[in-house]
Structure formats: structure tokens, C-alpha cells
Amino acid sequence: YLACLGEISSKGLDANIAVKLTQLGMGLDDSVAAQHLDTIAAAASEASTTVTIDMEESAHTSTTLALYEAAQKKHGNLGVAVQAYLMRTADDIDRISALGGHIRLCKGAYMESADVAFQTAEEVNASFDRLSDQLMGYADVLPAIASHDDGRINRVIRAASGRPGDWEFQMLYGIRRDRQVELVGLGLKMRIYVPYGEAWYPYLTRRMAERPANLMFFARALVGR
């Protein structure tokens, strides 16, 4: 992460970094994870950029948000991802919106039980729409809408019309490049999520293992290139 921030700074890129707190020690020693996050946030400040905390399995959600809140209050240059398929997310957004920063809304990629997460595509899409509306209602928050779904994208564009504050779309590198270009052509902001470093293949296979349905998603993207 620090090497990536160094590259962003030295090349003057309009980019930020996303971190997974389990890679910093969350779940083993949360205080160590907090220290590492503090170091990364300070380095990001030196590089004049921001840090987004990825959301992982629901077992880590409360700890992730607690570590985010502490770091954001100290540094003011962080954001966090929230997942539309988790039933708790509307309440989480209400709480963390007071911190400002940026909030990335995604559907969610991990297998979760019906006790904590919506299970059907229809339920997840409906939740995503409600949450995107909720995010657009906070003037002091930068909403980042992470989706490749045209239904969600088109609805967000309509909902965001006339919004005074900044917001952006986010998509994965290499997925729906034509749509990315099209949205930029409409004057909308697009940020691309790019794996950094040599371990791109383990990253890809891990995404497949987390949720096998992702395999068809990536396959369609490859065939469409």
C-alpha cells in the first residue's frame, strides 16, 4: 500500500487506494490493524490522496466501521465501502455519513446467510436503489456508485440530477470499458478499480472463490472484448 501511494505521488496521478483491513491484521489483532491503517492514512495525506476501506465478510462489518470511524476522525481523508445486500447497511450509512468522506456502494460479493443478507437479485437491486437514493441525500458525503448493472446505473443518473455535491461511478478494470467511456462522454466521473502489484492472478481467483457467480460475470466481460 505504501509503495502504491509512492507511485501515485511521484506520477501525480488522480488516484487513491483501497485497503482490506484483514490484510492489516484485523481479526487477529485489531489494534495492530488500526496502527497500520493510521500509517497508511498519514502516507495518503502526504501524497494528497485518500484511502478507501473495502468491506469484507459480514462478520467483520462492525469492526471495519469502528476502525474507519476512528481513522477518519483523526485524518479526514478516508472512505469506506458498504454492501447493498446486507440488511444493516441503511443504518450504517446513516451513522457514518456524519463523518463526511466518501462512501462506496456496491452490491456485495461474499456468500452470506439469509439472516443478514438479501438472497435474490431482485431484493439486492431494490436495496441498492434505496441506498443510492439515501447516499445522494447527504450533501457532505461523496457517493461512489460501484456497479456494472445498467439498471442501477441509469437509475442513479436520474436520481443524481441536480445534486449539488460531487459523486462518481466506479467499475473494475477491464469490465465494460465501452460503458465506462460512454459515461465519461456524458460528463460523469468514472473511477477504475485496478489491482496493484504482481499478485493480480491470486486476486482474480480469490474473487471467484468468494462468490462463484462472479465467474460468469468475468466470462461475459472476456467474451465481449
Which residues are tagged catalytic?
54, 104
DSSP string, 130-198: HHHHHHHT-TTSEEEEE---HHHHHHHHHHHTT-SS--EEEEETTSSHHHHHHHHHTT--EEEE---SS
Neighbours of 148 (CB within 10 A): 18
Pull the grid cell for residue 55. Answer: 468491506
205 burial (CB, 10 Å; 0-12 / 13-18 / 19+) is exposed
Cα–Cα–Cα angle for 5, 75, 144, rounded to 5 degrees: 70
**Residue found by looking up cell 462472479 in the block:** 214
Neighbours of 39 (CB within 10 A): 13
